[in-house]
Amino acid sequence: MVGSSLLDHDSFIHVALFYRSMHEYLDVLVPFVAAGVADGDAVLVAVPEPNLSLLRTALGDTADMVTLLDMSRAGRNPGHILGGVLGSFAERHPTRLPRMIGEQVWEAAPSWSIRRACSTRR
């Protein structure tokens, strides 16, 4: 995985992580988050449970310096994730580089709600 960094104030690098185990998930994300905290970045981890609890535990004291959100709550409307969750986090930290992890798994959503959420304009 390549670290996400701000190229300029208007563009991001977006990298996807495909993982086969929780061990692999933590081996990549914990150092990514810790490096962001060490660099003074504004760090957001927005992932669903149980991954959120696993990351919180693996981060130890570093978790206290990170914004942690349960994506099953914060991202209930997938049309709100980019602007309402990730974008608003970046806007709240205008003087710091945002480093964000977002995992949007919405397996339990009924198909009608996905169509509605994706077609909602804000």
Helices 22-38, 51-59: inter-axial angle, 10-degree rounding: 50
pTM, rounded to two decimals: 0.73
- All residue ranges of the chain with pLDDT < 70 are 1-12, 74-84, 105-122
pLDDT tens digit sequence for 98-122? 888 888 765 655 554 444 444 433 4
Backbone angles phi, psi at 6, to 5 degrees: -85, 120
Q: Compute the distance between CA of residue 2 and CA of residue 16 in angstroms, rounded to an integer.
A: 9
> In this predicted structure, what is the pLDDT of residue 113?
46
